[in-house]
């Protein structure tokens, strides 16, 4: 009889293989992953989380994170207790107007707050909001139009959205890595170009942002930074290096 160690999704197991080719699997360590409790009385250090691709802090000092592996958004209060405020741990999509807690989600990321202190985040090719009454609302994407000056909800956005920010005037900014540009959703609900032409390149500093090839596509899994306002990779003369730039 011989044995070998195999890795499964939730634990490490020892597989004992006898001379007849039959296997007996015995768990050595680990357990099935369980969706964390919705209770806000549990220590955040006990929260099982996966890869987090964006964090935010509200004006009261509460911390928020988007778990991309397990498809939920969590909050950690100032006492260090966590609660799940959106998602169910199940992959999928939940339409606008539905309650966020218990909803199916798809890798919520790039969290930020708008001027009304409502949580904005990216979900696939959509810009979404978690309202103060605990509902999910789509505010951009899901349409068919790829042009400018189009209603955000009628627009087709890249599935490689990588950055999100909001200003105090109510504008929302996001980056489309595949299209090499930064775009803005205005307070009138229209999407307009904010930086870049869609062409990859580097035009130096000091010029107008719109109409200049300044953005370069990057892998959406390479650097999903926390509180990552719109970040762009810019190639220099000898190699492609990421830079943070101001508009």
| Chain segment 46-61, per-residue pLDDT in tens | 778 888 988 999 999 9
For the segment 74-120, what is each residue's pLDDT rounded down to a tens digit? 999 999 888 899 999 899 999 999 999 999 999 999 999 999 999 99
Q: Which residue, chain included where needed, has tokens 């509200």? A: 58
Determine the average pLDDT of the residues in 62-74.
Answer: 93
Alpha-carbon distance 70 to 55, whole Å?
Answer: 15
Share of the chain above pLDDT 70, in %: 65
Alpha-carbon distance 108 to 120, whole Å?
Answer: 10
The rounded mean pLDDT for the chain is 75
Q: Which residue has the higher pLDDT, 185 or 46?
A: 185
Q: Give pLDDT, residue 6.
A: 41
Least confident span in 58-72, 100-114, 148-162, 210-224: 210-224
Q: Give pLDDT, residue 39.
A: 66
Q: Give pLDDT, residue 204.
A: 54
Say if residue 19's pLDDT is above 60: no
Q: Give pLDDT, residue 245.
A: 52
Determine the average pLDDT of the residues in 21-41.
Answer: 62
Q: Is 186 exposed, middle or buried (0-12, 13-18, 19+ CB in 10 A)?
A: middle
Q: Which residue, chain included where needed, has tokens 């309202």? A: 131
Q: Give pLDDT, residue 178.
A: 73
Give the closest residue to 107 by CA, choosing from 48, 53, 177: 53
Which of 1-10, 150-159, 204-213, 232-241 has the largest mean confidence? 150-159
């Amino acid at each position: 009889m011989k044995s070998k160690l195999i890795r499964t999704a939730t634990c490490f197991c020892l597989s004992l293989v006898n001379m007849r080719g039959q296997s007996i699997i015995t768990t050595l360590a680990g357990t099935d992953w369980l969706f964390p409790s919705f209770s806000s009385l549990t220590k955040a250090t006990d929260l099982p989380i996966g890869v987090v691709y964006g964090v935010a802090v509200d004006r009261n000092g509460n911390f928020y994170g988007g778990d991309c592996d397990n498809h939920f958004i969590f909050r950690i209060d100032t006492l260090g207790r966590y609660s799940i405020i959106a998602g169910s741990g199940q992959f999928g999509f939940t339409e606008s107007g539905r309650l966020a807690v218990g909803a199916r989600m798809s890798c919520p990321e790039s969290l930020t707050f708008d001027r009304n202190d409502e949580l904005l985040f990216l979900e696939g090719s959509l810009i979404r909001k978690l309202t103060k009454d605990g509902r999910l609302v789509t505010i951009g994407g899901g349409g068919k139009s790829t042009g400018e000056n189009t209603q955000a909800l009628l627009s087709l956005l890249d599935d490689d959205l990588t950055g999100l920010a909001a200003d105090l005037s109510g504008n929302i900014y996001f980056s489309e890595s595949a299209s090499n540009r930064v775009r803005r959703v205005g307070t009138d609900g229209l999407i307009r170009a904010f930086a870049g032409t869609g062409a990859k390149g580097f035009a130096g500093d000091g010029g107008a942002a719109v109409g200049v090839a300044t953005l370069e596509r990057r892998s959406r899994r390479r650097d999903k930074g926390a509180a990552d306002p719109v970040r762009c990779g810019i190639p220099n003369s000898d190699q492609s290096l990421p830079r943070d730039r101001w508009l």
